[in-house]
């Protein structure tokens, strides 16, 4: 299965992503993780990305699209993958469509994890990651609302979008996700 996982920062995507990759045997492609690794390794891409990440803004599309294109070519992606945190803009979604169209490997489903904005700020402030200062949190939420949420319309039109209520226990939410993915898994 080829899955795109969309949700605002703090929605609990990471936790659910871990369960999904284990149950459905998917490669986990988290652009946030990739960028943090690049930043920690002090590569050119990592240094450039950090200028944006540290203020809660999105890293430029060209950088991200190149990273994903290289990653999708690797052999562990052939059996299926979960794109976690990508695409985050319409331009990234269009680039992904083009890439997958050329390969003849379309997406199977786009999952949205839905959590109200009031709840997100509380969760993020409580998480305490080094980049989670109040200003950065606010900026990340703004980036989601302005740049990423338009993807819901974009994928809604393709018929691929499935929305999951992100409130509840980890188990309850994973049950909702399984109810959507089980029928698609073969």
| Interacting residue ranges for ligand AMP, rule: CB under 6 A | 9, 31-32, 35, 52-53, 56-59, 64, 85-86, 88, 92, 140
Cβ atoms of residues 154 and 134 within 8 Å: no
Q: Least CB distance from residue 179 to ligand AMP, whole Å?
A: 25
Q: Least CB distance from residue 131 to ligand AMP, whole Å?
A: 7
Q: Least CB distance from residue 186 to ligand AMP, whole Å?
A: 28
CA pair distance 2, 88, nearest whole angstrom: 17
CA pair distance 168, 172, nearest whole angstrom: 6
CA pair distance 9, 132, nearest whole angstrom: 10
Nearest CB to ligand AMP, comparing residues 2 and 140: 140
CB-closest chain residue to ligand AMP? 32
Q: Least CB distance from residue 35 to ligand AMP, whole Å?
A: 5
Which residue shows structure tokens 């052939």?
78
Cβ atoms of residues 28 and 46 within 8 Å: no
Nearest CB to ligand AMP, comparing residues 129 and 184: 129
């Amino acid at each position: 299965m080829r899955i795109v996982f969309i949700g605002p920062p703090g929605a609990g995507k990471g936790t659910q992503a871990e369960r999904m990759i284990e149950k459905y045997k998917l490669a986990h492609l988290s652009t946030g993780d990739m960028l943090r690794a690049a930043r920690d390794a002090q590569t050119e891409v990592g240094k450039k990305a950090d200028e944006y990440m540290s203020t809660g803004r999105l890293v430029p599309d060209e950088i991200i699209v190149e990273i994903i294109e290289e990653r999708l070519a690797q052999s562990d992606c052939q059996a299926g993958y979960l794109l976690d945190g990508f695409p985050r803009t319409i331009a990234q979604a269009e680039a992904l469509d083009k890439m997958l169209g050329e390969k003849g490997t379309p997406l199977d489903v786009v999952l949205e994890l839905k959590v109200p904005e009031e709840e997100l700020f509380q969760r993020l402030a409580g998480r305490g990651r080094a980049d989670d200062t109040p200003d950065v949190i606010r900026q990340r939420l703004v980036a989601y609302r302005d740049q990423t949420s338009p993807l819901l319309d974009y994928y809604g039109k393709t018929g691929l979008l499935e929305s999951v209520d992100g409130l509840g226990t980890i188990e309850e939410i994973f049950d909702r996700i399984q109810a959507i993915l089980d029928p698609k898994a073969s």
